[in-house]
Chains A and B, each alone.
Chain A
Amino acid sequence: SQQGEEDPQALSIQEGENATMNCSYKTSINNLQWYRQNSGRGLVHLILIRSNEREKHSGRLRVTLDTSKKSSSLLITASRAADTASYFCARPLTQGAQKLVFGQGTRLTINP
């Protein structure tokens, strides 16, 4: 079973708007990662944020991490049709573990 939840499960917005996806988890982490998956394809790594970081940027992506609330968010600004994909958060099962545990993902649709 998956550990960690993404919210919402599906999100549909107009091109140009910002999209925010949230991820919650239950145990302590030393890093959390976000991945994107286009339909029927493999996953692409977006951002890794460490537990001692609160915010990280990459282009139009902004990730925040609140370890006290055990939650993270991914913000995509000025969305484009090409951003249509599923977005997953993932974390090592335990600190130091290689195994990544993924949530169910958020299916993002950008309408032109």
Chain B
Amino acid sequence: DTGVSQDPRHKITKRGQNVTFRCDPISEHNRLYWYRQTLGQGPEFLTYFQNEAQLEKSRLLSDRFSAERPKGSFSTLEIQRTEQGDSAMYLCASSPPGVQGSSYNEQFFGPGTRLTVL
């Protein structure tokens, strides 16, 4: 399977614990995105990487959240001191290099990591 993969698929943790999720994008894609989705809602943008550079972060991404993409390939999203409000599906997506100036950015999504904070 050459699609976007995410690990783990499910994570249950206790409030206050740290969790880390991993995303492996499609290999030739240089753009990587993290979204969060709560039940009954559409995905909400969290952050975006182009290669290893984190170019945009949402205000939703509090100080407890950090994302990295050290070698411009896989990415990790860490949540420190988890809270019950962090319970959600965390989606990763990737897209290929675009034509300069183009935002025709079809994004390919992974299956998501469902986080439950008890």
A residues sitting closer than 8 Å to B (CB atoms) are 2, 30-31, 33, 35, 40-45, 48, 50, 88, 90, 92-93, 95-105
**A residues less than 8 Å from B40 (CB atoms):** 104
Q: Are A98 and B106 in contact (CB under 8 A)?
A: no
**A residues less than 8 Å from B74 (CB atoms):** none
6 sampled A-B residue pairs with Cβ under 8 A? A2-B44, A31-B103, A40-B89, A88-B43, A92-B103, A98-B31
Check B45 for interface membership: any CB of A closer than 8 A.
yes
Q: Which chain B residue shows the least CB distance to A30?
A: B103
Q: Are A43 and B103 in contact (CB under 8 A)?
A: no
**A residues less than 8 Å from B48 (CB atoms):** 98-99
Check B21 for interface membership: any CB of A closer than 8 A.
no
Distance in angstroms from B14 CB to nearest chain A CB is 23
Other A-B pairs beyond A41-B111, A43-B93, A100-B33, 10, CB < 8 Å: A35-B109, A40-B89, A40-B114, A42-B112, A43-B43, A45-B108, A48-B104, A88-B42, A88-B43, A102-B44
A33 to B95, CA, bound (A): 14
Q: Which chain A residue shows the least CB distance to B41?
A: A104
**A residues less than 8 Å from B109 (CB atoms):** 35, 42-45
Distance in angstroms from B96 CB to nearest chain A CB is 12
Check B105 for interface membership: any CB of A closer than 8 A.
yes
Distance in angstroms from B73 CB to nearest chain A CB is 18
Q: Are A42 and B91 in contact (CB under 8 A)?
A: yes
Distance in angstroms from B100 CB to nearest chain A CB is 11
Interface flags, B26-44, vs A, CB<8A=1, else 0: 0000010100000011111
Distance in angstroms from B36 CB to nearest chain A CB is 11
From A31, A90, A99, name the one whose CB has the most chain B CB atoms within 10 angstroms.
Answer: A99
